[in-house]
Structure 1
Amino acid sequence: MTKNNHENDVAFIQALAELLNKNDLTELSVMREYGEDDSLEVRVVKQATIVAPAPASYAAAPVSTAAPAPGAPIAAEPSADPANHPGAVPSPMVGTAYLAAEPGTEPFVAIGAAVKEGQTLLIIEAMKTMNHIPAPKSGTVKRILVDDGTPVEYGTPLMIVE
């Protein structure tokens, strides 16, 4: 590797770190190929100190739930960490979650909707690409854990499907 490549790589890594901070991300991974057998793989991670038992991104995420029927007992489940729920649908990538195909249109699913395995639950936009997130199994949408236009990270619970 020449000195010029080294300086370009340092500038590239600094630009990635700035992108990480500017977009409030915690991790960014990129592979840069120079030729057939020459590449650079970079992973930039921002360490965060967690003082609460649940990560701040989960605690701050808005929770959309149906209103309970009058007189119905209130379940303790909403206070539990949704990431540990067996029906949790985690985000497979970092991006922005959208509940509908376009602004102003009906969402893909709603709370209480029956879904089939492979049916689109929502879209995550990553690098100007719209990625359809399919239902991992057939069931009923019990909770929607993100609002339309919410930034999400890898592993963030998006919905609960039982």
Structure 2
Amino acid sequence: MSKQTTDTDVAFISALAELLNKNDLTELSVKREYGEDDSLEVRVVKQANVVTVTAAAPAPVYHAPAASAAAPAPAAPEDPAQHPGAVTSPMVGTIYLSPEPGAAAFVTIGATVSAGQTVLIIEAMKTMNHIPAPKSGVVKRILVEDGSPVEYGAPLMIIE
């Protein structure tokens, strides 16, 4: 492919991403044919973002002398990516919790893992990448579903 075709492809992919957002789609697949043995296949997927909500400071409440105190504001939910035991994705890909379909999962909630032990697989570009536990501990939470897409840096599980 020439540089001009590559620039055109980049513009085409950007237009697909814009179309995805504009029409509130979650996935878009397109195959573009250039010739007999030359084509471009593009799959654009919008990852569901983890939304964290922080409680705003309550407005000042003025009470009459006999009024009761206001209830405290609820605590903000924890962001799993900020947890010290978070295992995050080192790449973009598809998560698999077991070595093959129908097999037992590498780990389950409550399982004890050793540093370096495979805890899941991320498929990227048709390559199965084993993701090791960064430290020894107990699996407290699994934050992804088998077969779901993940982005770089997304929290996958919590090990404490």
The TM-score, its normalising length taken from structure 1, stands at: 0.61
Which protein has the larger Cα radius of gyration, Structure 1 or Structure 2? 2
Equivalent position SS for 2:8: helix
Aligned to 1:137: 135
Correspondences of 1:1-162 after superposition (within 5 Å)? 5-14=2-11, 16-17=13-14, 24=27, 57-59=49-51, 79-162=77-160
Equivalent position SS for 1:58: coil
1:24 deviates by: 4.8
Moved over 6 A (4+): none
Aligned to 1:42: none
In 2, distance between residues paired with 1:86 and 1:16?
A: 36
Structure 1 residues 91 and 16, CA, compared in 2 at 3 Å: closer, same or farther? Answer: same
In 2, distance between residues paired with 1:23 and 1:10?
A: 25
1:149 deviates by: 0.6
In 2, distance between residues paired with 1:141 and 1:19?
A: 39
In 1, distance between residues paired with 2:98 and 2:16?
A: 27
Structure 1 residues 120 and 141, CA, compared in 2 at 3 Å: closer, same or farther? Answer: same
Structure 1 residues 18 and 133, CA, compared in 2 at 3 Å: closer, same or farther? Answer: farther
Gaps of 5+ in 1: 26-45, 49-54, 60-75
Equivalenced residues, count: 117
Larger relative contact order (CA 8 Å, sep ≥ 6): 1
The TM-score, its normalising length taken from structure 2, stands at: 0.62
> 2:119 is aligned with what amino acid?
L
